[in-house]
Amino acid sequence: MTLFALELRKLLRRRSARLGLAVCFLLPLLWPWAPRVEALFGIELVSGWQLPAVSLGVLVQFLLPLFIAVTCAELIGSEVSGGTLAPLLLRPVNRTRVLTGKLLVALLYPLLLVLATVAGSLLAGLVVGLGPFTGGTGLGPGFFQGVGTLTPGQALGQVLRASFLAAVMLLPVASLAVLFGVMYLNTAAAALATLATLNILRLFAVFPESLQRLLPTSHFDLYVRQADVTPGLILLLIYTLGFGVLAALAFERRDV
Amino acid sequence: MTQPPPEAPAPALEVRGLHKRYGRHSVLHDIDLTVAPGEVYALTGPNGAGKSTLIRTVTGLAFPTSGTVHLLGRNVHHDGPRARAALGAVVEAPARFHPEFTGIQNLRMHAGLAAMAPGAERPDMARIREVLALLELTRMADRRVGEYSLGQRQRLGVASAILARPRVLILDEPTSGLDALGIGLIHRIVTDLAAEGCAVLLSTHHLREIATYAHRVGILTGGRLVDTVDLRSRQAAYRFRVNDPAGAAEHLRRLPFVGSVGTRTPYALAHLGDEARVPDALAHLAQGGFRVLEAAPDHFDLYEYYRERVEVAV
């Protein structure tokens, strides 16, 4: 048994984690039966392959960060309030290893949420149809208008690319929630601090563009970008790593 | 050539000059204590005295402002994983577990964690079932911990602490929430482990029960260890209920192995040095014409001593 496996098992037992996954999977099932979805998003749905873009567009700016902030903060906070962190640290285990296990699980959670969203969207897409179509997935060139006809294989490729980018894009949120979890040892405070930080960073839109480019929140549209995404990816991974290292350093000598 | 005197065993637990502050508030002041292998050291004191902070610092959960803690010669704050390799501990009462997992699942989790020590063997299922049986939890083994009573959770905590056969056992209020039978069970387990060479540090408020099996008692008040009582040197006294306590005490004084005598009507009290001297003392009293109605160890009244000591400290 590795610490990662143990932490993953605990994560999947958490109500907050299950609720987040359930919402991400079930919410897209509404789209085929929602008469105003096209008007609301200003698109004409011609294929089920377009539903992942609709779902990610709805979830990625607020609900996914919320789920990630709460669940990842809970990885530390609920163990402190439940009294199960101390027995873990009384064992002959390096604190950095304990935190690394938690951090890896925290980083996996955005991917699980995105996969649940895409799975629910494609299931709903069966109603609309998942065959070849003329238009765009909303996640590739030309967005929803597209640049011609897309085969199911091409559409799937665009959805998988966007899913990967969306998951990476949300990694700093998970990492930041773990850092605040270590600092506050309390779920509510850590989740609130994470969401407040994200919102404050978004307010930095009032500052020059050169500064904005360095903010993680400026790259929260990475999954739909068609130009070179490498600089954005690298920056988000630096934030993820930075928050993770700070969390590990803070945890190393934190009274529990 | 004379043999060198036998060396005292190296302490299993050694605390030196421990200070702990939270901001401007000092919680522990200059604590020094050692626990030898096979010794049961009980830590007692009023609420807020710093017992839990001391236990958390000794186990490495909290970090001292200054001072050191060594478990089996390893610094618990600088070499934590190796220092804790032989540690079993429960630091909260009742012990906490993942309520959604069963007792066995929780212990398997702890067995896996215990095996992370360098060179450690993972306690197998037979050992898990053994400790569950020892703590009389076999019936609850496959039930979720969320369904356990407080006492059952506390016993599961002790099961978890002894799972990997620790050489140092640290328990914070181990009998809290337990019924009389549960308390007796914990006493028996602690005594057996100490007899096998395990060093035991426990905190408790139950002075009269701890006096029956602890070797030393540390009294902590206001964050200072104000006294350490060696109960072994105080438990060689015996009391004899006799028809003439004062005469019997004077008669016992003549015996060469009797250290001191006294009376507490209807008893004559005598320090015999060893339990094996009791028959000799009884025979001596009979020869002197005293009728002995009862003979029993006269336990040191730790509670009275503690009360006086804490009042003086305050």
CATH assignment of the domain containing B274: 3.30.70.100
Instruction: List, as one string, the DSSP characters of A217-233.
Output: GGGTTGGG--S--HHHH
Residue B307 maps to a domain: no
Residue type, B127: R
Q: How many C-alpha atoms does A255 have within 13 Å on its Cβ side?
A: 14
Residues of A in contact with B62 (CB under 8 A): 255-256
Co-location of B124 and B220 in the same domain:
yes
Residue B192 maps to a domain: yes
User: In whole numbers, what is the pLDDT of chain B averaged over residues?
Assistant: 89
CB B160 within 8 A of CB B190: no
Residue B61 maps to a domain: yes
Query: What pTM value is reported for the model?
Result: 0.83
pLDDT at B3 over 70: no
The sign of the CA dihedral B144, B146, B148, B150 is positive
Co-location of B256 and B128 in the same domain:
no
- Cβ contact, residue pair B96, A86, below 8 Å: yes
CB B242 within 8 A of CB B293: yes
Does A13 touch chain B if contact means CB atoms closer than 8 Å? yes
Question: From the candidates A91, A99, A102, which should be mutated to test the interface with B, based on the most B CB atoms within 10 A?
Answer: A91
Does B109 touch chain A if contact means CB atoms closer than 8 Å? yes
Residue B91: phi and psi, rounded to 5, are -110, 5
Residue B248 maps to a domain: yes
Number of domains into which chain B is organized: 2
User: Residue B266 sits in which domain range?
Assistant: 236-298
Residue B27 maps to a domain: yes
Reported as a pLDDT band with limits 50, 70 and 90, residue B1 is: very low
Does B84 touch chain A if contact means CB atoms closer than 8 Å? yes
Residues of B in contact with A82 (CB under 8 A): 96, 98-99
B31 three-class SS = strand
Co-location of B55 and B204 in the same domain:
yes
Of B182, B216, B232, the domain-final residue: B232
Co-location of B120 and B246 in the same domain:
no
Co-location of B155 and B122 in the same domain:
yes
Average pLDDT over residues B137-165: 95
Reported as a pLDDT band with limits 50, 70 and 90, residue B195 is: very high
Co-location of B72 and B112 in the same domain:
yes
From B63, B87, B92, residue closest to A83, measured CB to CB: B92
Q: Taking CB atoms and an 8 Å cut-off, how many pairs form between chains A and B?
A: 69
Residue B314 maps to a domain: no
Q: How far is CA A243 from CA A173, A240, A248, B12, B278, in A?
A: 9, 5, 9, 39, 70
Does A95 touch chain B if contact means CB atoms closer than 8 Å? yes
CB B187 within 8 A of CB B158: no
Structure tokens at A56: 């990610």
Domain at B193, CATH number: 3.40.50.300
Query: Scanning every residue of chain B, which has its alpha carbon at the shortest distance from the alpha carbon of A256?
Result: B61
Co-location of B182 and B290 in the same domain:
no
- Cβ contact, residue pair B96, A91, below 8 Å: no
Among B116, B162, B106, which Cα is nearest to A3's? B116
Co-location of B111 and B254 in the same domain:
no
Q: How far is B96 from chain A (nearest CA, A)?
A: 5
Residue B158 maps to a domain: yes
pLDDT at B296 over 50: yes
pLDDT tens-digit profile of A186-232? 999 999 999 999 999 988 878 888 888 899 999 999 999 988 899 99
From A90, A94, A253, residue closest to B91, measured CB to CB: A90
From A10, A82, A92, residue closest to B114, measured CB to CB: A92
Co-location of B204 and B244 in the same domain:
no
